[in-house]
Every structure is written in C-alpha cells, then in structure tokens.
Amino acid sequence: MHRPLIPEVLHARRARTLVRRSLAAAATLAVAALPTLPSSAVAGARCYAPPVEARVIRPFDAPACDYCAGHRGLDFDTRPGQVVLAVAAGSVSFAGLVARVRYVVVAQDDGLRATYGQLATSSVDVGRRVRAGQAIGTTTDVLFFGLRDGERYLDPAPLLGTWHRRARLVPLDGSPRRPGPPPQLVCRNHDQGG
C-alpha cells in the first residue's frame, strides 16, 4: 500500500534535488572552464606531425564529467591499410585489443599519452621505444587519435600541424621532373614546427 508523503518530506526531497542539480551544473561549468591545453604544452608550444594524412571526420567533444558522453579524441577518415606514424617519441604502454578493437598507447617523452585506435594491425609491442614518425601500425577505414595529460583528455587538434607542399611547375615537354622541396609542417600555435 502506498502512503502519501507529508509536505515536510516532499519539501526535503525537492531541496535535495535542487542542491544535486546545482552541484552538477557547477561541476559542468568548472570542467568547461578548464583550458584544453596543459600549461606545459603552451610553454613548450608543441606541434606534432599528424599520425596520418587524412581529414578529421569527428572532432574532439569534451565530456562534462569523467563518465559523461563525449568524444575523447579525433577520428580521421583513412584508407584501409594506411600507415600510422607515432606523433612523438616514447614507450609503448599498451598494444592490444579492447572489445575487439585494436589500440596502441604510447607514453610520450613529453609527458602526454597518445592513443591510436581502430587499427587494422600493430607493429609495436609493449615496452618498445618508438621515435616520432615511426610506423606503429596500419588503419581500418577510420583512425582514432587521442591525447591525455595524466587522466585529463586533451583536444589534439590544436597540437597537430598540417603538411604544406609548395606549389611548383612541372615540365610539359617530357623532360624529367626535378624533386620538389620537402613539405613543411605548419602549426596553429606558432609559425613553424618541428
């Protein structure tokens, strides 16, 4: 049998609900106010070469809390079999399957952790040292790339440069092409990276 609640109990429940909602809203605002880049990234003006040459099809979407929905990295639109390169030097801390999805995690020398996910193959093992630009695996049709500073997820986009190739003329008379200049990594957070 259901007994009706007395007004004092109803008032206390409403007050607790209001307090919980206020605390949740305050926590959401506090998380949203946090900078996306660690202070060390700003000081060091990091700029990484992207792990693949492909366009981003799903951007970073910061979650409101540790267990809230969001997208904790970038998804790149890749061709199956495309080579994935380490963005920085470090040690492989994980290489394997999680829920039948292949991942490689690199504890970078600069203190960040890079996660490469949805890999078709992995060419590195746990404990192995990798250098920036070294192949660590190949892609499926999508590559996930995420960065963490401790337990905090970072938006990788501001830390990734883009390769720019200088336009050049090519001969039309059948003479051999001369090699062009190497591409330059151009970064959002400063003029040139490397």
Query: CATH number of the domain that 92 lies in?
Result: 2.70.70.10
Distances (CA, A) of 153 to 16, 62, 71, 166: 31, 8, 10, 34
- Whether 123 contacts 147, CB under 8 Å: no
Nearest to 103 by CA among 149, 133, 72: 72
Each of the 194 residues of the chain gets a pLDDT tens digit; together they read 555 545 554 445 555 554 444 444 433 333 333 333 333 333 355 899 999 999 999 999 988 888 899 899 999 999 999 999 999 999 999 999 999 999 999 999 999 999 999 999 999 999 999 999 999 999 999 999 999 999 999 999 999 988 888 887 888 898 888 888 888 888 876 544 44
Domain assignment present for 7? no
> Do the domain assignments include residue 193?
no
List all residues 6 or more positions away from 30 whose beta carbon is below 8 Å from its beta carbon.
none
Give residue for tokens 């746990």: 126
- Note whether residue 173 is domain-resident: no
Alpha carbons 156 and 47: distance in angstroms, whole number: 10
Q: Is residue 62 part of a domain?
A: yes
Q: What pTM does this model have? A: 0.69
Distance CA 147, CA 166 (A): 30
Q: What is the pLDDT of residue 67?
A: 86
Domain of residue 55, residue span:
46-160
Domain assignment present for residue 150? The answer is yes
Residue 147 counted as domain residue = yes
pLDDT at site 72: 94
Structural domains counted in the chain: 1
188 falls within a domain: no
In a domain, 137, yes or no: yes
Integer Cα distance of 153 and 65 in angstroms: 11
CA distances from 142 to 48, 57, 78, 154, 188 (A): 19, 9, 5, 20, 24
What per-residue confidence (pLDDT) applies to 30?
A: 34
